[in-house]
Amino acid sequence: MDGALVLAGASALLSGLGALESHLHNRLLRKISYRIHVNGTRGKSSVTRLIAAGLRAGGIATCAKTTGTVPRMIFPDGTEYPVYRPSRSNIIEQLRVVRAAAACQAQALVIECMALNPQLQSVCEMKIVKSTHGVVTNARADHLDVMGPTEVDVARAMAGTMPVRGKFYTAEQDHLGVFDMAARDRGSEVNSIGDEEVAAVTWSDLSGFAHIEHPDNVALALKVCQDLGVPRQTALEGMWNATPDAGVLQMYSVREHEKEIAFVNGFAANDPESTGQNWNMVVGRFTAFDQRVALFNCRADRTDRSIQLADACLKWQPADRYVLVGSATDVFARRALANGMNPGRLLSAERLPTENVIKNIEQQANTSAMVMGMGNIAGPGMQIIDYFRSRGNQSRRSTPCYAEAA
């Protein structure tokens, strides 16, 4: 009996502590007027940063937290620090983020959803963030082992971050019905960012970024900022001056033997649909190069991804050359050739040092070449990035290219 009483007492104590912690957390949330929960398959780290930068430019004291390539906490003055994790990532760290934002007397918190499991996504929203504004960039066929098996299931999982009686924003068009249903259930208003809003983001708007930014992301972030009272141009200028996420499409340019070789780091997108959209956008936007080179970094333990990319790449805007690095490149090559790729345009450079790969590309170009790295970033991917970082310039290279594209 004594043991049972002790157990019952301990349980009651723990329940009481949990209720107290929940009460204190809710008090902190109420101190933050705008709580913006950002979710999506691709671009959520960038959109988190864009929204936060736009709000800061509008005079709204804003904290932000990203969970992208490198998890970061961004403070109202724009400074940022890495998020310390004593062990593996856990959604409980979002509680610390809320405490930090409240301690800064932030008026707004823009927080990226860090959960993949559908139930945990809902917990993040309903128990931790309790957002006033929800954002989903897109819903694509990725992490299907957790959120799948279909793309519709991915959208349903992300609908778990729909706010209760708040506002919801999305650039996703294919699964808008899923979000409409969730919004009706939770009493929220859906704001869809369609083709018209994306087209309103001009070449001039995009040319202010030092990196390659997606117009969908900009349109989505601008809509949120404008709804919170920040003028469009003010928000846009804030976005131009913000530090980008480590995973954005960055361009580096080097000159080799009077030839310009530009490299676009597209390794962060690891699903074929996003990779293809990045490639098509870059090819359409940067037209001054006489060679367009699609460079794929393959991995022997990711042959399924190599097959997916080999199937997809021939449906994109054509490349002048396809260069394969990494391991098990023969898997990609066999599949691409079977799909009809011209063998003369395919180079398997699995055993070539990075310098020799770049030299081969330079020799094949007349005056210039644009190389986009895709696939996996590990190993040769990182070596190629380091090569261009150490030798090249990361300037506002986009400005003349955007002007030319316009």
Give the pLDDT confidence of 332-352 residue by residue, as tens digits: 999 999 999 999 999 999 989
- Residue 107 sits in the same domain as residue 254: no
Answer whether residue 325 is part of any domain. Answer: yes
pTM of the model: 0.81
Region 63-81: what's the mean pLDDT? 90
What pLDDT score was predicted for residue 227?
98
Tell me what percent of the chain is helix, strand and coil, each rounded to the nearest 5.
50, 20, 35
Torsion of CA 79, 82, 83, 88, to 10 degrees: 160
pLDDT higher than threshold 70 for residue 331: yes
Q: Tell me, yes or no, whether 8 lies in a domain.
A: no
Give the pLDDT band (50/70/90) at residue 248. confident
How far apart CA 153 and CA 334 sit, in angstroms, is: 32
Give the pLDDT confidence score for residue 68 in this predicted structure.
63
Does residue 39 sit in helix, strand or coil? strand
User: Residues 326, 367: one domain?
Assistant: yes
The reply to whether 277 and 217 lie within a common domain is: no
Crossing angle between the packed helical segments 272-285 and 398-405, to the nearest 10 degrees: 80
Same domain, 140 and 256: no
143-157 per-position pLDDT tens digit: 888 999 999 999 999
217 and 79 within one domain: yes
- What percentage of residues in the chain have a pLDDT greater than 90? 72
Structural domain total, the chain: 2
For residue 102, the enclosing domain spans 28-240
Tell me how far apart the alpha carbons of residues 244 and 396 are, in angstroms, rounded to a whole number: 13
Whether residues 232 and 256 fall in one domain: no
Picking from 171, 205, 240, the residue at the C-terminal end of a domain is: 240
pLDDT band at 90 (very low <50, low <70, confident <90, very high): confident
CATH number at residue 327: 3.90.190.20
6, part of any domain: no
213 and 282 housed in the same domain: no
Clarify whether residues 256 and 338 are in a common domain. Answer: yes
Instruction: Quote the pLDDT of residue 405.
Output: 36
Which one of 207, 240, 273 terminates a domain?
A: 240
Assess whether pLDDT exceeds 50 at residue 402.
no
The answer to whether residues 235 and 256 belong to one domain is: no
Question: Do both 276 and 400 map to the same domain?
Answer: yes
CATH number at residue 210: 3.40.1190.10
Assess if residue 178 is contained within a domain. Answer: yes
pLDDT of residue 3: 56
- Model pLDDT, residue 12: 55
Q: Considering the domain boundaries, does residue 145 fall inside one?
A: yes
What local confidence, expressed as pLDDT, does residue 237 receive? Answer: 98
Question: Is the pLDDT at 82 greater than 50, yes or no?
Answer: yes
Q: Tell me the pLDDT tens digit for each residue of 129-140.
A: 999 999 999 999
In a domain, 82, yes or no: yes
Q: Tell me if 7 is assigned to some domain.
A: no
Look at residues 219, 240, 261 and tell me which one is the last residue of a structural domain.
240
Mean pLDDT of 382-406: 62
Is the pLDDT confidence value at 395 over 60?
no
pLDDT at 10 over 80: no
Question: Rounded mean pLDDT of the chain?
Answer: 90
**Of 398 and 305, which is predicted with more confidence?**
305
Same domain, 227 and 280: no
Say whether both 301 and 383 belong to one domain: yes
d(CA 249, CA 179): 28
What tens digit of pLDDT does each residue of 289-328 get? 999 999 999 999 989 999 999 999 999 999 999 999 999 9
Residue 296 resides in a domain: yes
Secondary structure class of 208 (helix, strand, coil): coil
Q: Which helix (H) or strand (E) holds 239?
A: helix 232-240
